[in-house]
Amino acid sequence: MPSILRHLSSVTSSGGLINKVDSFRQLHHNTNSLKSNHTLKHYLESGEPIKALLNFKQRFRESPSFVDSFSVLFAIKASSLAHKAPSFIGKQIHALVRKLGFHSVIQIQTSLVGFYSSVGDISSARQVFDETPEKQNVVLWTAMIAGYAENEKAVEAVEMFRRMEEERIELDEVIATVALSACADLGAVQMGEGIYSRCIKRKRRLGMDLTLRNSLLNMYVKAGDVEKARRVFDETLRKDVATYTSMIVGYALNGQAQESLELFKKMSQDSSVSPNDVTFIGVLMACSHGGLVEEGERQFRSMVEDYNLKPRDAHFGCMVDLLCRSGRLKDAHEFVNQMPVKPNAVIWRTLLGGCSLHGDVELGEEVQRRIFELDRGHVGDYVALSNIYAAKGMWDEKLRMRDRVKKRREPGKSWIEMGNIIAEFVSGGSDDDGKLMVGEISEVLKCLVACMTSYDYVVDNFNSSY
């Protein structure tokens, strides 16, 4: 016994036993943290972000010391994915980040930018970005630029990308794809081409990146330049479903129904690629714009029976539009009533647009009642029905419907690319508010009118000579 006591005394006096106890406690702490983080990660990978948040909350209440930077990171990601969770939960986690001193961790700051962008709070996202001490990270910039693009702030996204290039942040295929998407939304083709050119010049391998090429193709499609889009399509050796789908949709949007359907037929013969639900949206749009009712009905059945794809609201809307354009309003109405899911306001508005096109007052009034049950605040619904009344000479009803409009439409916006500048036009905006170059624009319009007038004069003289 004395020998044991002496041994313990010597160990304690040298600090060995205390260090061993501390090491055991630290190991126990790290083990528990690792298990807890594994649980959080499992919930995220299983698509259960709410459970991840509840687990994090319970863990923090039981022992705040178990919370580390990894668990906070998982909690922020869960907040971004949990659309049904209140946004203040993410803000509470942000406050915890500051309290624990994790605001210098670049991965956490990037995730916070993504969270605020996902809930539409883009100003807070930008504040987090600006407060991040070390910004030489392409992932952080990508999160901010993507946040702008996803929140319909394409101009800000492009400006942010320019600033990123000025900071000489190394580009990759992800950030280039996001930037091209913003250019596509703006119709800024020259700027998008410049971004693509600079990317492949800095990194030649990016020229072969399929996702980046698909983004370039999609930009041309949205800008209505089908020829350039087809050139990119043909030059892309390894095509995936996105490559085919973008080109099919591009043809459909530009009224080239036969080209769209022919390309879809070619895609169907390619064993390496299978169409998805978005592909069939393009196919049905092509049938609608081409007036191909029977072909559209056949493709709709094929989507379900041959490819086992479940129709979404967009597919049902395409079918309603197809029937309306061909004047088959009763068939369209019956199709809506027989849908396996409850039709939303957009589908009813598609039918209302058909009633407006063909002047069907009775059905238009019924459809508008259905729309009002879902959404009474859309100004376009009142306008569409008032136009139906006007076409039938029912002026009293038209005025009554116009008087029911309680608020103005959202002002329309458009953009024009002038060299390296993207100018935004807002309907009803003043020169001071929009900072528009009215004088320069007026001169350009005068030149265009003069050119068109002289062209007509030349053509008329040419025709009269024969």
Per-residue pLDDT tens over the stretch 88-118: 888 888 988 888 888 888 999 999 999 999 9
List the one residue out of 73, 164, 160, 150 whose CA is nearest residue 117.
150
Q: Return the number of other C-beta atoms located less than 10 Å from residue 248's C-beta.
A: 29
pLDDT at 33: 59
| Cα–Cα distance for residue pair 99/107, rounded to 1 Å | 17
Which residues have a Cβ under 8 Å from the Cβ of 12 and sit 6 or more positions away?
A: 18
How many residues would you count in the chain? 466
Tell me how far CA of residue 432 lies from CA of 153, 155, 417, 437, in angstroms.
Answer: 21, 19, 20, 10
Give the type of residue at 111. Answer: S
SS (H, E, C) 34-86: HHHHHHHHHHHHCCCHHHHHHHHHHHHHHCHHHCCHHHHHHHHHHHHHCCCCC
The ranges of the chain with pLDDT < 70 are 1-35, 84-85, 377, 381, 403-439, 454-466
Backbone phi, psi, residue 398, to 5°: -60, -45
pLDDT at 454: 66
pLDDT at 263: 97
| Cα–Cα distance for residue pair 122/147, rounded to 1 Å | 7
Tell me how far CA of residue 375 lies from CA of 202, 208, 259, in angstroms.
Answer: 50, 46, 38
pLDDT at 21: 36
pLDDT at 45: 82
Q: Which two structure tokens, joined as six digits, stand for 282? A: 């393009």
pTM higher than 0.75 for the full model?
no
pLDDT at 426: 62
Which residues have a Cβ under 8 Å from the Cβ of 415 and sit 6 or more positions away?
A: 154, 155, 186, 187, 188, 422, 423, 424, 425
